[in-house]
Amino acid sequence: KAGVTQTPRYLIKTRGQQVTLSCSPISGHRSVSWYQQTPGQGLQFLFEYFSETQRNKGNFPGRFSGRQFSNSRSEMNVSTLELGDSALYLCASSLTGVRGTEAFFGQGTRLTVV
Amino acid sequence: TQLLEQSPQFLSIQEGENLTVYCNSSSVFSSLQWYRQEPGEGPVLLVTVVTGGEVKKLKRLTFQFGDARKDSSLHITAAQPGDTGLYLCAGAGETSGSRLTFGEGTQLTVNP
């Protein structure tokens, strides 16, 4: 069974540009969540999509947006990049069952804003 | 807002020693997960606990969920250099969908 796939693995962008990151969840998982990880803040929740609808949203500015397609693949977009957006962006594919919510992460996309 | 406090933040021990990492909150979680993360990689799920008082063992790792489902611990017996990594606890709220609240993490270094 394939795991969570995130592309690209690495990105370097300039301040003011925009970026789109992609995530393919585990087959059969309908929930996809995005997290930002930085050394100072740890893992911070961005948003969650379930069946193409945003189900939860964290405390990030509107520059951060996402969407989910009918095949459960998800993208997140960051517009007008700032230096502080440099981080590891992680996508998690989740399944909720009798064992609670289990989230499986991709390898992440390392974004560097210069 | 649910918060998870994880301690200690850093731990450096010698091979063969035992250690315990704690994860505490004032909130109740429907389930709690422990992850291990290597530099530049995504967290890898180690275990999920869902029942108050639950104890799960994974080889030399023992995970416990508090009776009130507000806290958890990870105990490693006879640590090995291969256990080195960032350990993260994460809780799922009862009405938060798949949203997880993460602790700050414990950076464990096991020296040979």
Distance from CA of A91 to the nearest CA of B (A): 9
User: Which residues in chain B touch residue A42, judged by CB atoms under 8 angstroms apart?
Assistant: 102-105
pLDDT at B1 (0 to 100) = 63
DSSP A80: S
A98 contacts in chain B (CB < 8 Å) = 50
Of the candidates B50, B104, B105, the beta carbon closest to that of A100 is on B50
DSSP 8-state symbol, A72: S
DSSP letter string over chain B? ----EEE-SEEEEETT--EEEEEE-SS--SEEEEEEE-TTS--EEEEEE-STT-EEEETTEEEEE-TTSSEEEEEESS--GGG-EEEEEEEE-TTSTT-EEEP--EEEEEE-
% of chain A residues with pLDDT over 70: 96
Mean pLDDT over A25-45 rounds to 92
**Which range, of A32-36, A61-65, B16-20, B39-43, averages the lowest pLDDT?**
B39-43
- Segment A54-61 mean pLDDT: 93
- B98:A31 CB<8 A: yes
Query: Which residues in chain B are closer than 8 Å to A88, comparing Cβ atoms?
Result: 40
Cβ pair A107:B35 closer than 8 A: no
Residue by residue, pLDDT tens for chain B (112 residues) are 678 999 999 999 999 999 999 999 999 998 999 999 999 899 999 999 999 999 999 999 999 999 999 999 999 999 999 999 999 999 988 777 788 999 999 999 999 9
Instruction: Using an 8 Å CB-CB cutoff, list chain B residues near A99.
Output: 31, 48, 50
Looking at chain B, which residue has its C-alpha nearest residue A59? B1
pLDDT at A22 over 90: yes
| Cβ within 8 Å of A, B 42-81 | 42-45, 48, 50
Please give the pLDDT value at position A76: 98
* A25 contacts chain B (CB < 8 A): no
**Lowest model confidence (mean pLDDT) among A42-56, A93-107, B32-46:** A93-107
Average pLDDT estimate for A3-30: 96
